[in-house]
Amino acid sequence: MTATTMTLAATEAPVADYRPPLRARLSRLVLPVYTALAVAYLFLPIAVMIAFSFNNPRGRQNITWQGFTFQNYLDIWSRPDITNPMLQSLIVAVVSTILATILGTLIGLALTRYRFVGRNTTNILIFLPMATPEIIMGASLLSLWVSLGVSRSLVTIIIAHVMFNISYVVVTIRARLQGFDRGLEEAAMDLGADEWTTFRKVTFPLIFPGILAAALLAFALSIDDYVITSFVAGKTITFPLWVYGVSRLGVPPEVNVLGTMIFVVAFLAIAAQVLWQRRQARRQLIPSRAP
């Protein structure tokens, strides 16, 4: 204790004109430079994808740069072989996100706000799908449908997507609910609000950002799922299944066009959420600054 105070006192005085040696200053740069390179590495395939979406290849191979064109972006809209899988994926993603978000939010509320028998079992049931390889979930669902004699369709895809998304929704909601101040609800009840009004006016607005984050995650996981979908799709073709299918003959630029569009939409959605949260945070800051 005293040693610490003494070192502090000893080092504090000359700190004003103290310049660390060059080696120390360079070693401070190692981690930021490394992280910048890592981010570049993460974006490399994205950059390649975007670049080749503007490529103008001869034939179906889209491997070498042949010239710039916008044509790929104009063509895809009149290609039902591309727009149909995209539409299927959107239907699956929207429906499964809504269902998984509702079911997952309810479980998340139960787990964080109530003590009950079977809580640990529920926790394990939530954890297991996230710890199971996708191929096992896909294969076992296929086993179920085959032995029941159910033909696979859009419905079986949606069922599978809701299944693997519930856990992710629960985990996201639970993380947001853990810092939740129950005093706010008690205050509302003390002021005469019944439980439903309290939920509607206090609880729900407070947990809404968590629900939104969970829904975004579920949507992203659903629209991108290939492995499980490939087992339960039957003859239905979703966007990832279509990409996988055509890529066996060489990747046409249309794949890159759609990949780029998904990336741009995801980017805008995330940017909007970040900006919205910043504005919320600022709004909450202002009154607390007042005396």
Partner 1 sequence: MTAVVRRLRWVVPYLFLLPGGLWLLIFFVVPMAVMASISLQTGSLGTGYTLTWNFGIYPEAISQFATQFLRSFEYGIIVTILTLLIGYPIAYTIAFRGGRAKNILLLLVILPFFTSFIIRTLAWKLILADQGFILGTLKSWGLLPDSFGLIATPISVISGLVYNFLPFMVLPVYVAIEKIDQRLVEAANDLYASRFQSFLRVTLPLSMPGVFAGSLLTFIPSVGDFVNATILGSRDTTMIGNVIQSRFLDFNDFPRASALGFVLMAAILAMVLVYARLVGSDELTSG
Interface of this chain with partner 1, residues 74 to 133, rule: CB under 8 A: 102-104, 106-107, 109-110, 113-114, 116, 120, 122-133
Site for partner 1 in 204-243 (CB under 8 A): 220, 224, 226-227, 230-231, 239-240, 243
The answer to whether the beta carbons of residues 98 and 92 sit under 8 Å apart is: no
Q: Look up tokens 């787990």; give the residue.
A: 111
Do 253 and 62 contact (CB within 8 A), yes or no? Answer: yes
Beta bridge partners of 68: 55
Using the rule CB under 8 A, which residue among 26, 34, 87, 151 binds partner 1? 34
Name which of 188 and 252 has its Cβ closer to partner 1. Answer: 252
Q: Which of 230, 239, 233, 237 is nearest to 258 (CA)?
A: 239
Nearer to partner 1, 76 or 142 (CB): 142
Of residues 90, 139, 193, 212, which one binds partner 1 by CB under 8 A? 139
Residues in region 148-187 near partner 1 by CB under 8 A: 159-160, 162-163, 166-167, 170, 175
- Cα dihedral sign for 153, 159, 162, 167? negative
Cβ contacts of 215 within 8 Å, gap of 6 or more: 97, 98, 101, 169
User: What is the spatial distance between Cα 100 and Cα 23, in angstroms, rounded to a whole number?
Assistant: 53
Q: Report the helix count and the strand count for the chain, using DSSP H and E.
A: 13, 0
Segment 44-73, which members bind partner 1 (CB under 8 A)?
Answer: 44-46, 48-49, 52, 62-65
Part of the chain binding partner 1 (CB under 8 A), chosen from 76-84, 90-98, 141-149, 196-204: 141-149
Among 20, 25, 26, 43, binds partner 1 (CB under 8 A): 43
Smallest gap from Cβ 80 to partner 1, in A, equals 20
Question: Whose Cβ is closer to partner 1: residue 74's or residue 146's?
Answer: 146
Tell me whether residue 39 or residue 184 sits nearer to partner 1 (CB atom).
39
Q: Residue holding tokens 């669902």?
A: 141
Residues 169 and 221: beta-carbon distance below 8 Å: no
Give the shortest CB-291-to-partner 1 separation in angstroms: 27
3-state DSSP call for residue 291? coil
